[in-house]
A = this chain, B = another copy of it.
Amino acid sequence: LCPPGVLSLCCRPPSWDRAPRQPPGLLLAPCRAFSNNKIQVELDESSGVAMMKFKSPPVNSLSLDFLTEFSISLEKLENDRACRGVIITSAIPKIFSSGLDIMEMCGKNVEHYGEFWRAVQEMWLRLYGSNMVTVAAVNGSSPAGGCLIALSCDYRIMAENPKFSIGLNEAQLGIVAPFWFKDTFVNVVGHRIAESSLQLGSLHPAPEALKLGLVDELVPEEKLLEKASAVMAQWLALPDHARQLTKSMMRKAVLDRLVSHREEDIKYFINFISKESIQKSLRMYMEMLKKKKS
């Protein structure tokens, strides 16, 4: 068991292995790639920018394994002096991330719910509190937890495809986004938009997301990574130290709120998700998804 206050992932064996340096083929700069199961990470040492690609078919859902790998990847990059920024995108067409994996919240025991929720918190604390510049290149739909990942970055660029949508749609599943999802959302879109969007569980098509400030910019899909790199270069032109202190000053209040209520938040989640009415909602939602597929 983890001692209190220690990150949950300290107790999980690291799944991270450094791959041998890639030969500098088409790439202009030396580049380190890391083999992972669900997330592909490549660090370009010349620019200090890591590219993180979610590749967990079919829809990059945030399972316990995915979240753990994500947190460990972030931690590794955070501690790597060669890395100053991360671009987060998806290797799967049409979907950035479908959000929390409902399988982890349905029909499991209390211990599992607790472990899962701690991993969700961990991922957010690492990403929202990252010292690195974080740019989300949202190249597909991004509901719920997928939206949270984008919201937690410093800058959000989305493919200008009106078929792609983004939002915290938890309410549509009969569940409630936790207070720190809400705080992160309010920091981006303000109170009025957050209030109606969260209550309606809205998924906003890309053009609407831009209008609401939920994403900062839309670009044609084929230019998404190019644009993300240009934005990243602009952010990295600033000295790290002042930028990091500024970022921390802006986000500290919201981060601290979860840190100081972490255990209550886990208990609340376990209690909420264990309710038969909620379990029923989730089962119905999953069956609906299955029917949709077939």
Most buried by B among A173, A201, A246: A246
| Per-residue interface assignment for chain A, residues 164 to 176, with 1 indicating a CB less than 8 Å from any chain B CB and 0 otherwise | 0000001111111
A277 to B239, CA, bound (A): 12
* A294 within 8 Å of B (CB atoms): no
Most buried by B among A198, A199, A238, A250: A199
Query: What does DSSP make chain A's interface, helix, strand, loop or mixed?
Result: helix
A199 to B85, CA, bound (A): 14
Min CB distance A96 to B, Å, is 19
* A289 within 8 Å of B (CB atoms): no
Which of these binds chain B: A8-16, A43-51, A56-64, A186-194? A186-194
Most buried by B among A242, A249, A281: A242
A170 to B190, CA, bound (A): 25
Among residues 188 to 247 in chain A, which have CB atoms less than 8 Å away from a CB atom of chain B? 188-192, 194-196, 198-201, 213, 216, 234-235, 238-239, 241-243, 245-247
* A177 within 8 Å of B (CB atoms): yes
A78 to B19, CA, bound (A): 61
* A101 within 8 Å of B (CB atoms): no
Min CB distance A222 to B, Å, is 25
Tally A residues with Cβ within 8 Å of B: 43
CB atoms of A200 and B249 under 8 A apart: no
Which B-chain residue is minimally distant from A175 (CB atoms)?
A: B242
A216 to B193, CA, bound (A): 10
Which B-chain residue is minimally distant from A251 (CB atoms)?
A: B195
Min CB distance A11 to B, Å, is 31
Additional A-B contacts beyond A173-B242, A177-B246, A187-B191 (14; CB < 8 A) = A171-B239, A175-B242, A176-B242, A176-B245, A176-B246, A179-B249, A182-B249, A182-B250, A189-B192, A191-B250, A199-B238, A200-B234, A200-B235, A200-B243
